[in-house]
Amino acid sequence: MNFGGQTPTVVVLKEGTDTSQGRGQIISNINACLAIQDTLKPTLGPLGSDILIVDGRGKTTISNDGATILKLLDVVHPAAQILVDISRAQDAEVGDGTTSVTIIAGELLKESKAFIEEGISSHVVAKGYRKAVSLAVERVRELSVKIDKSNSSEEEYRELLERCARTAMSSKLINNNSDFFVKMVVDAVLSLDQDDLNENLIGIKKIAGGGIEESQFINGVAFKKTFSYAGFEQQPKKFTNPKVLCLNVELELKAEKDNAEVRVEKVDDYQAIVDAEWQIILNKLKLIEETGANIVLSKLPIGDLATQYFADRNIFCAGRVASEDMDRVISAVGGSIQSTPTDIKPEHLGTCEYFEEVQIGSERYNIFKGCPEAKTCTLLLRGGAEQVIAEVERSLHDAIMIVKRAVQNNEVVAGGGAVEMEISKYLRDYSKKIAGKEQLIISAFAKALEVIPRQLSENAGFDGTDLLNKLRMAHAKGEQWCGIDFQAETIGDNFEKFIWEPALVKINAFSSATEAAILVLSVDETIKNKESAAPNAGMAPPPGRGRGIPR
């Protein structure tokens, strides 16, 4: 077929599909990531500011936690979404450093932008970054100081964990109350089973009202009073050394219509059915009473008949206990959850030294203390506003995760920008020993790491350029732990000042940030499919509809 010498147009993608590619696309993706970085920069460090976010439903959140901010921001750019993902991954893996990882990733992209504009292939930049991050991680491992638990007393080991928790809290809302919360966080982590350190067994309950320092640490379990029926008021609210029975059994009369259809010929037959139903539940209650339990908890409802039955026999009961609360009760008091009231043996019951139902603020809480199996604890957080309590919870989560990592990986490094400056100096020295483009790229990686001390200084209102020059000079002389000293408004040895962080936080941050930067650089084409129209869009209405014709 002759097209008159012209090449025919081949349509591969659906009409309306948006495609963009090449160097311009890489730079566009970098700019999107830098916009995310600019949002988070002011929140870094002890003197970083908070961000107030209002979502579509009008709910307000005040936070300076990187992962929380990025989760609440409605990020639509696909490349910028990568930074959101690495921040969440850092939060899940380590618990802290979520802002740092995003800022470092953004700075690596910023440094690479000049190379891309000059025509250097993104693969060459990626190769240089991979080399640089492997050297950086290796160097952090060399620098890290191992704290040997076996060679230190219990007080010294606890002090180490408190220092790590204090550093994690330094940039949070609770910084001014850190002495109070540091003890709470370390107690919480040490109360867990030291083999698996499952942080889900640390219950955090938020109770509005009161001051922040009215928060309590319960070495046991506390949960909010569940829904209760009439007769509950007559039950005892305090026990010493009680027997605790945990059930997954519904103790409530069932309406006949829910279960079966019964045909009766005489009134006596109907009465026999009602009596049988009552007898079934009374038999269950009698079996529970015979176990000798003083406290009966169930995941399923405990109805008014059962509540009154237990009240008459001085037994405390609570139905509809949340699954996570029940799991923590079992971890604390011992025993096991029973799915039937028959054949309950003494070993199936748990115990504790003291149980009480108390009023805390406007809520009533059931508290189990002095638990023999205590592999769990509860933090009762107080505060004047819901937003304040929510931010306290996020701050404590970060500190708990840091202490947990310090227990598992007992290698620490100095914070306050000290590690970043030392790695930067090390990579800069290394780059001078090699030739070619890789020298420039590794040097750019070294420069990117300086963003952390520079931003820490600027957020604190210090002269960033002046302090950065002082830090470069100090590290050139071999002062490897020299970082920003916020108290003296200059530089100082942060290891001596006990500004410690687990080495794992830094290793994870450098690795994740570099992976994200390389991923963004490797994308040089974006294809965006046009949204499909509604199935009936553009179709003519059926005859007799919408045309003024009566049906």
Mean pLDDT by 10 residues, the chain (551 residues): 54 52 81 90 86 86 86 84 89 84 94 90 92 94 82 78 85 81 90 81 88 88 87 88 90 64 76 80 90 92 90 92 90 88 88 90 89 84 86 88 84 89 94 90 94 91 90 92 87 87 90 93 75 48 44 38
Can you read off the two tokens belonging to residue 74?
Answer: 């409605």
* pLDDT for residue 21: 64
Predicted TM-score of the model (pTM): 0.76
Whether 99 is catalytic: yes
Phi, then psi, of 77 in degrees rounded to 5: -70, 125
- Tallying the residues shown for the chain, one arrives at 551
Concatenate the DSSP letters of all residues of 232-274 into one string. GGGS--EEES-EEEEE---BSPPPHHHH-----SSHHHHHHHH
- Indicate which residue of 39, 43, 398, 514 is catalytic: 398
CATH level 2 (architecture), domain 221-373 = 3-Layer(bba) Sandwich (3.50)
* pLDDT for residue 178: 84
CA quadruple 76, 79, 82, 83: dihedral, nearest 10: -90
* pLDDT for residue 254: 66
* pLDDT for residue 546: 42
Q: Residue 102 burial by CB count (10 A; 0-12/13-18/19+): exposed, middle or buried?
A: buried
Q: Domain 18-146+414-528, what fold?
A: GROEL; domain 1 (1.10.560)
Whether the Cβ atoms of residue 97 and residue 505 lie closer than 8 Å to each other: yes
Distance from C-alpha of 378 to C-alpha of 195, rounded to nearest angstrom:
19
Nearest to 97 by CA among 154, 40, 147, 25: 40
Mention every residue, 6+ apart, whose C-beta is less than 8 A from residue 272. none
- Indicate which residue of 68, 98, 102, 514 is catalytic: 98
Under DSSP, is residue 71 helix (H, G, I), strand (E, B) or coil?
helix
| CATH superfamily membership of 154-210+383-407 | TCP-1-like chaperonin intermediate domain (3.30.260.10)
How many CB atoms sit inside 10 A of residue 80's CB? Answer: 22
Whether the Cβ atoms of residue 21 and residue 13 lie closer than 8 Å to each other: no
Can you read off the two tokens belonging to residue 487?
Answer: 């108290």
State CA 344 to chain mean position distance: 39
- Indicate which residue of 65, 91, 325, 327 is catalytic: 65
Under DSSP, is residue 351 helix (H, G, I), strand (E, B) or coil?
strand
Sign, CA torsion 505/506/509/511: negative
Whether the Cβ atoms of residue 111 and residue 447 lie closer than 8 Å to each other: yes
Distance from C-alpha of 498 to C-alpha of 157, rounded to nearest angstrom:
13
Place of tokens 């942080």: 199
Q: Do domains 18-146+414-528 and 221-373 have the same CATH topology?
A: no
* pLDDT for residue 533: 44
Can you read off the two tokens belonging to residue 163?
Answer: 């220092």
| Bridge partner residues of 217 (DSSP) | 379
Nearest to 209 by CA among 402, 412, 383: 383
Q: What single DSSP character describes residue 365?
A: E
Distance from C-alpha of 343 to C-alpha of 291, rounded to nearest angstrom:
9
Distance from C-alpha of 223 to C-alpha of 429, rounded to nearest angstrom:
57
SS (H, E, C) 100-160: HHHHHHHHHHHHHHHHHHCCCCHHHHHHHHHHHHHHHHHHHHHHCEECCHHHCCHHHHHHH
Whether 398 is catalytic: yes
Whether 378 is catalytic: no
**Sequence ranges of the domains in the chain:** 18-146+414-528, 154-210+383-407, 221-373
Whether 61 is catalytic: no
